[in-house]
Amino acid sequence: MQKRKLGKSNLEVSAIGFGCMGLSYGYGPATERTDAIKLIRTAHELGVTFFDSAEAYTGNEDLVGEALAPIRDEVVIATKFGFLNGDVTQGLDSRPERIRQVAETALKRLRTDRIDLFYQHRVDPNVPIEDVAGAVKDLIAAGKVGHFGMSEAGAASIRRAHAVQPVTALQSEYSLWWREPETEILPLLEELGIGFVPFSPLGKGFLTGAINENTTFDKSDFRMIVPRFSPEARRANQALVDLLGAIAEAKGVTKAQIALSWLLAQKPWIVPIPGTTKRHRLEENLGAAGVTLTAAELGEIQTALSAVEVRGARYPQHLQQRVGK
């Protein structure tokens, strides 16, 4: 597995990381613990050195901590603060005292003495971003945190935070079916030397081709409330998957590998973090690091994408209000 540096920082990680959220949260019932631990360790054996968690992903930090404890010094662990009581349904809380509390709890759950990358999960409009950056700066000075990150933040907040404590990475959604970051965010990150960690790089599974208009989701699956995953939107968005399929077939790879290799080709400081609960999907995803798209192929994808209109909002309205702040 090739390595990449997140922006101008010295934080070097595998070119593709592993998003651990879905093992315990967001996509239906949690994976059986022993199976989840085995999958995380398999990811490392296959070359992954970058693992993503969060306080808000119920039980996830404890799971990740147990899985990575034997190889702690070989990996980079990211986690997040920013929700009241660690619960996404209770609103935001990035008060400095809360940040310090989350850090101490995360260190215990993760069974480690430092958090390599500590993200603000969502910008809290009630707390000046300078205070947030200052709190993380203090944790870095104390040796409890290595790097400061932000998630789904807007350009102004990123710039203000970066002036207090350099931001190592921004984690936001970015994929072939959500390209909004290209307008303002990617140029800003390039200017400031900040790395980019796209989550949902496979469109929450849709870009793999494994989901269609007839797919049913568990009642606890987050996609149940996402407009882009309504049956009507899935039917309309199938055109994008069909397009990916044609490109993938011509190259002898899978749709997921095209989607991930396209992200890797955008900038050398982009590190996607696909998640999965299945070993064969893990191997497929990591195989994308070995797929190189030529300039002609990237141009073909660009031309084809311009002819497809993706339908449906990526978040319901109450969650959309939390992003881009």
> Which value, in Å, is the radius of gyration of the alpha carbons in the chain?
19
pLDDT tens digits, residue range 273-293?
999 999 999 999 999 999 999
Place of tokens 């390599």: 116
Q: Give the number of other Cβ atoms within 10 Å of residue 3's Cβ.
A: 12
pLDDT of 304 above 90: no
What is the per-residue DSSP string for 211-238? --TT----TTBGGGG-GGGSHHHHHHHH
pLDDT tens digits, residue range 80-94?
999 999 999 999 999
Q: Is 265 strand, coil or helix?
A: helix
What are the DSSP E strand ranges found in 61-189? 76-81, 115-120, 145-151, 167-173
Are 199 and 173 within 8 A, CB to CB?
A: yes
CA distance 19 to 78: 10
Name 193's Cβ contacts closer than 8 Å, sequence gap at least 6. 7, 8, 9
Q: Is 92 strand, coil or helix?
A: strand
pLDDT of 316 above 90: no
CA distance 34 to 132: 36
* Nearest in space to 262 (alpha carbons), one of 306, 293, 305, 287: 293
Are 196 and 219 within 8 A, CB to CB?
A: no
Q: Where do the structural domains in the chain lie, given as residue ranges? A: 3-208+263-291
Indicate the pLDDT class of residue 141, thresholds 50, 70 and 90.
very high
Q: Which helix (H) or strand (E) holds 286?
A: helix 279-287
pLDDT of 219 above 90: no
Q: Is 57 a catalytic residue?
A: yes
Are 16 and 46 within 8 A, CB to CB?
A: no
Give the count of alpha carbons within 13 A of 265, CB side only.
20
pLDDT of 4 above 90: yes
Prediction pTM value: 0.96
pLDDT tens digits, residue range 162-217?
999 999 999 999 999 999 999 999 999 999 999 999 999 999 999 999 998 899 99
Indicate the pLDDT class of residue 77, thresholds 50, 70 and 90.
very high
pLDDT of 126 above 90: yes
Structural domain 3-208+263-291, CATH architecture: Alpha-Beta Barrel (3.20)
Catalytic residue among 25, 27, 57, 174: 57
Q: What integer is the mean pLDDT of 101-119?
A: 98
